[in-house]
Amino acid sequence: MPHLSAKGATLRLFDREREQWSLYWASSISGTLFPPVVGRFEGGIGTFHGDDTYDGKDIRARFVWSGVSATSARWEQVFSVDAGDTWVTNWIMEFTRPSGTTAG
């Protein structure tokens, strides 16, 4: 069986009237631009929600960005199968910028 190498991209759009972000994920495997998670940053934490499917089931997805600084950030993805009553974390990424590099 051939090894699948996945690549993706995120399209981030800011709605000035609503003061909220829409984050869209595109996958090289499916060639699909997925429905967005929508939200905003408040108190240094970005929280974004959206509807999706996982293993053929309707889910609610939440992405949380926290600890954002010039040198680091944390991203967490959680899913809910019961309309947000309970959540299961399925992915956490910790980002660090190599020393000697600058933001922007």
Q: Which pLDDT belongs to residue 31? A: 86
Q: Which pLDDT belongs to residue 5? A: 78
Token duo for residue 88? 């299961």
Q: Which pLDDT belongs to residue 100? A: 67
Q: What percent of the chain has pLDDT over 70?
A: 91
Q: Which residue stretches of the chain have pLDDT < 50?
A: none
Those residues with Cβ within 8 angstroms of residue 13's Cβ, 6 or more apart along the chain or in another chain = 21, 22, 24, 36
Q: Which pLDDT belongs to residue 104? A: 60
Token duo for residue 45? 């934490």
Alpha-carbon Rg for the chain, nearest whole angstrom, is 15
Q: Provide the whole-model pTM.
A: 0.82
The 10s digit of each residue's pLDDT in 78-88 is 999 999 999 99
